[in-house]
Structure 1
Amino acid sequence: MAETGAPPRPAPAASPASASEPSLPATLRRNAPLVPTDTAASRALAAVIAILTFLAALCAGAAEIVATSAGQWQGAVAQEVTVQVRPGPGRDIDADVTRAQEIAKAEPGIAETRIFSKGESERLLEPWLGSGLDLSDLPVPRLITVKLASSPAPDLKALREKLTEALPGVASLDDHALWLQRLSTMANTFVGIGIGIVALVLAATGLAVVFATRGAMAGNKEVVEVLHFVGANDDYIARAFQSRFFRLGLRGGAVGAGAALLVFALAGVLARISRSGPAGDEIEALFGSFQVGWRGYFLIVLIGVIASVVTAVVSRITVRRFLSW
């Protein structure tokens, strides 16, 4: 009797490889960057770099405005000198003023002279003494403004000696040298403070990059060990971190510098709009036209580039020190 065979059993279905093999981490997959830039930490670092670049650019632009305005003030003041004629007992003040003006006009290199009236001289004292006072009994000096010609150059020393000889103890010449020196010192001090603030901001950017780089190295420690195992040297790893952080710094520097350029452009437009009123005249007298000029715009862009370079260099140095430990 023939033995009946059991129906054949179906072969077990082969399970897919994805079900049995664990998936690789995102940092070890093909085409994945060694240092991801789309993480929350990377975005935060780019925002910090943008804010610090913006502050540094504002300081640089403000220093440029002060330096330009101070140069304009110095140029305008240096083109004028003042002759002061003091009243004396038994002297005719009007005759002395006329004599002093004639001496100034006769000097080579003098373009124009103007005598301040007694009322104009008294009004110059109102900011200190107030208005409405009767100054007729006070020996208020009379002033003569003397505009200097660019060519030939006037000899102020000779003019001072002639005034002293013709009107001894009465006339004196003020070339505003002390005021110009103080103005130059003030402008240089402000510019120096601006440079110091920019340096501190860039140093703060470097410190932020140091902490971010160390955090990225700690988070990718296994990846670095695998790269060392397959033969990658420290220079290759440092270049990878440097490239990624340079892109972060470039993005943050571009955003910060662009925001600063926009602020100064809007400030210049608003200053031109308000120039027609009294407030605009006061702003223009204090800050000039409130234009940073091409040199100021170049400095702002340069600060954005420097922030990017600082980010790349500091990240590379930090990675090399981290790998050497």
Structure 2
Amino acid sequence: MIDAPQPRPDEEEGFERPAPPERAPRKTAPIVPAQNIAGRALVVVIAIMTFLSCVTFGAVTLVRDTASVWENQISREATIQIKPTEGLDMEIALATAAGLAAEFDGVKGTRIIDSAATMRLLEPWLGSGFDIGQLPVPRLIIVTINEDSPPDFKDMREAITTAVPSATLDDHRTWVDRLVAMAHTTVTIGIAVLGLMLSATVMTVVFATRGAMAGNGHIIEVLHFVGAEAQFIARQFRTRFLFTGMKGAAAGGVAAIVVFILFSWWSSRNMATPQGDQAAALFGNFAIGSAGYLGVLMMVIIIGALTAATSHATVVAYLSDLEGGQTDGG
């Protein structure tokens, strides 16, 4: 006699069969692996180019602002210089020249540089403790003029030299115009150098993008042939390169800001020394101001966006060539 089959445990009444364990969702690997392009080399190159670009931009800003100050000084002040000659009473000559200059329309005031101030001007070259009365040192008069309605310098020069033959009037236009022209040339050269640095950054990104595509060429071709749009593939590269570019650009921008802060600190520490005074006379206090720091931030954003846009354009051009080759082959 054959026994009837016994029911399985899971078929008994009231027994529920356990559900199979749920599978964890599979993580999709990115088309452009991070380790292929976001390596240290590319980040360091972008950081170096950003640092040099920001420093160049800061230097251009500093020179441009200094040139603007020089131009404003032309319209604010003039100088009367009186050379000591035999039989000349210097104090009377200074008072006479200052009084004549003050009579002209467009002159706000005059100020005679006294002996103590003249000695301080000569200390970087002659040291301290010398007797200025024993040296044939010219004396100066600062003439403050109206910027909107300057005086007639020709008539003023003739009146002063007639009353004091050893006096000369210098409106600073000749040497300041030369300095301003030199500053403008420096700004033009700085802009050209900045353009070259950005071009070098673009070329670096192009080579890096082509290297990334060469390492993932089979994946790109398969995706392209099965119908993936070029914009989708290019977007993957653009996103990855945007992250890489912003990381390198941020590092370079921060390094440039640190350099500017250090220069400004050094300038403030050496303000009372002859070296610091000479540097301040030429370049100010080495502070680029809020506009300069805003320009550094814009430079970081531009380089990051330029990196992403360059990689996008390179991928689109590569896929266009791929489609052209497929059409020619067909």
Tell me the secondary structure at the aligned position of residue 110 of structure 2: strand
Tell me the secondary structure at the aligned position of residue 32 of structure 1: coil
Give the structure 1 partner of residue 39 of structure 2.
42
Residue 219 (str. 1) matches residue 215 (str. 2): yes
Equivalent AA in structure 1 for residue 79 of structure 2: T
Q: 217-226 or 271-280: which moved more? A: 271-280
- Structure 1 residue 150, shift from structure 2 partner: 5.0
Residue 310 (str. 1) matches residue 306 (str. 2): yes
Equivalent AA in structure 1 for residue 172 of structure 2: H
Using the aligned pairs only, state the percent identity: 43
RMSD of the alignment, in Å? Answer: 3.5
Give the structure 2 partner of residue 297 of structure 1.
293
- Structure 1 residue 181, shift from structure 2 partner: 0.6
Give the structure 2 partner of residue 261 of structure 1.
257
Give the structure 1 partner of residue 198 of structure 2.
202
Give per-residue Cα distances to partners, 1:104-152, cap 9 Å, x unaligned: 12113323324467999899899999999x99898x7654332224576
Mark the CA change 1:137 to 1:284 in structure 2 (over 3 Å): closer, same or farther.
closer
Equivalent AA in structure 2 for residue 160 of structure 1: R
Tell me the secondary structure at the aligned position of residue 28 of structure 2: coil
- Structure 1 residue 285, shift from structure 2 partner: 3.3
Tell me the secondary structure at the aligned position of residue 275 of structure 1: coil
Selected match of 2:145 from 148, 159, 165: 148
- Structure 1 residue 85, shift from structure 2 partner: 4.6
- Structure 1 residue 100, shift from structure 2 partner: 2.7
Is the Cα–Cα contact under 8 Å of residues 85 and 172 in structure 1 kept in the other structure?
yes
Give per-residue Cα distances to partners, 1:162-200, cap 9 Å, x unaligned: 446x44965542211111111111211222222122111
Alignment length (residue pairs): 295
Give per-residue Cα distances to partners, 1:217-244, cap 9 Å, x unaligned: 1111111121122211222222222222
Is the Cα–Cα contact under 8 Å of residues 122 and 135 in structure 1 kept in the other structure?
no
The separation in 1 between residues aligned to 2:96 and 2:32, in whole angstroms, is 82
Mark the CA change 1:305 to 1:113 in structure 2 (over 3 Å): closer, same or farther.
same
Q: 203-212 or 41-50: which moved more? A: 41-50
Give the structure 1 partner of residue 246 of structure 2.
250
Tell me the secondary structure at the aligned position of residue 29 of structure 2: coil
The separation in 1 between residues aligned to 2:79 and 2:46, in whole angstroms, is 51
Q: 104-113 or 290-299: which moved more? A: 104-113
Give per-residue Cα distances to partners, 1:75-100, cap 9 Å, x unaligned: 34542212345678998777655433
Equivalent AA in structure 1 for residue 251 of structure 2: V
Is the Cα–Cα contact under 8 Å of residues 53 and 257 in structure 1 kept in the other structure?
yes
Mark the CA change 1:87 to 1:224 in structure 2 (over 3 Å): closer, same or farther.
same
Tell me the secondary structure at the aligned position of residue 105 of structure 2: coil
The separation in 2 between residues aligned to 1:250 and 1:265, in whole angstroms, is 22
Mark the CA change 1:290 to 1:135 in structure 2 (over 3 Å): closer, same or farther.
same
Selected match of 1:61 from 52, 58, 63: 58
Is the Cα–Cα contact under 8 Å of residues 124 and 274 in structure 2 kept in the other structure?
no
- Structure 1 residue 72, shift from structure 2 partner: 2.8
**Consecutive unaligned residues in structure 1, runs of 5 or more:** 1-28
- Structure 1 residue 155, shift from structure 2 partner: 3.7
Is the Cα–Cα contact under 8 Å of residues 112 and 142 in structure 2 kept in the other structure?
yes
Alignment of 1:78-97 (within 5 A): 78-85=75-82, 97=94
TM-score, structure 2 as length reference: 0.74
Is the Cα–Cα contact under 8 Å of residues 78 and 176 in structure 1 kept in the other structure?
no
